Amino acid sequence: MVAVLAALTCSHLVNDLIQSVLVAIYPLVKDSFHLTFAQIGAITLANQVTASLLQPFIGWYTDRRPLPYSLAAGMAVTLIGVVLLATATTFPSLLIAAALIGVGSAVFHPEASRLARLASGGRHGLAQSVFQVGGNLGSSLGPLLTVIIVMPRGQGAVGWFSAAALVAMIILLAVGRWYAQHRRDVARFPARVPSTAPEVGLSRARVRATLALLGLLVLSKYVYLASFTSYYTFYLIEHFGVSTRSAQLHLFAFLFAVAVGTILGGPIGDRIGRKRVIWASILGVAPFSLALPYADLTVTAALSLGIGLILASAFSAILVYAQELVPGKVGMISGLFFGFAFGVAGIGAAALGFLADRIGIESVYHLCSYLPLIGLVTSLLPELERRSAPTNVVR
């Protein structure tokens, strides 16, 4: 089980590394393709809305008809997107490449999240955090590797990352074989599989309302994160006059802090409860976010590290909370929340780009600084009362 979780985590690193490289080359393609901020936002929108629309349906389908080798197939689509991104010569081809990378991510996340839970040994928060930290570590490495590999050589060097996608495909084929064997074992020895899962003692209406509140919290987190992942380099360049290389290194530091914060949220939630982690991680960012637009470069760097570290712990806690809220539908819930997060981030990035073209990137950061205050709605989340009742098991 540890080997499976490690394989999923490494594959998540590659998946999100490629997503991050797409974002990290924005300054390069903005200059070479003469793009506006709105067009930069449209690239993010093509990438993340594609993933957003597909993930819930893929999760819903694989809850009913698990596809052991779908993870490797999804990574193959990502590989095609990377090759197209490296060779794109027009803005529409950039959009298609971004969309293909989004499709690969849409296939990967719900099924990989299900298998991470299956391999958790009951420590669901820890497993989700380990799985998530692979993705966030990949996201943090994207800008750094872009500086080292792509910036000196140009857009074509993006093709080097296709090798990482190919390695991830091989790893995921092995995971697929393990999952297929696991399903055969379950079919042969059903008595070995638990037949119950925890219910939470809430009415259907309360469950729906709680899911809506969780969605609002995801919105606040990912729109604010989109202001960093898509526009932090531009903010630093425009506001402080730093070089593109320096701005990319600052983005790497922020995303690395996100990776570190992610690993903390799950195990802490296992110990003290998901609600407390969600409360602290989203609302706790507000003092940092409100101060950031008024800080100098050194303080901005320090504040961004605090923001990444604290805010990142939220998603693992939110996801496991939602999985416990709706037991027996791990794939659907994972796909819904990953998809909603990607969609919100994509729409947010496009909207922020539109605003940046009209009111300036500095004004955008002033507006975004208030988003973490939405964390106040965490007070409305119920404490989950877990009851044992028959349901479908994770397969």
Total-model pTM? 0.68
Domains of the chain: 2-185+206-381 (1.20.1250.20)
Beta strands in the chain (DSSP E): 196-199, 387-390
pLDDT tens track for 317-365: 888 888 888 887 777 787 788 778 777 877 888 889 889 999 999 999 9
pLDDT of residue 213: 92
pLDDT at 95: 95
From the list 35, 36, 234, 22, the residue with the least C-alpha distance to 139 is 22
According to the model, what pLDDT value does residue 266 have? 63
384 three-class SS: coil
Q: Quick one: angle between helices 313-325 and 204-229, nearest 10?
A: 160
DSSP string of 285-353, one letter each residue: THHHHHHGGG--HHHHHHHHHHHHHHHTHHHHHHHHHHHHHSTT-HHHHHHHHHHHHHHHHHHHHHHHH
Other CB atoms within 10 A of residue 205 CB: 8
Instruction: Look at the block and give the residue holding tokens 């037991």.
Output: 327
Low-confidence stretches of the chain (pLDDT < 70) are 122, 125, 189-200, 265-266, 269-270, 385-395
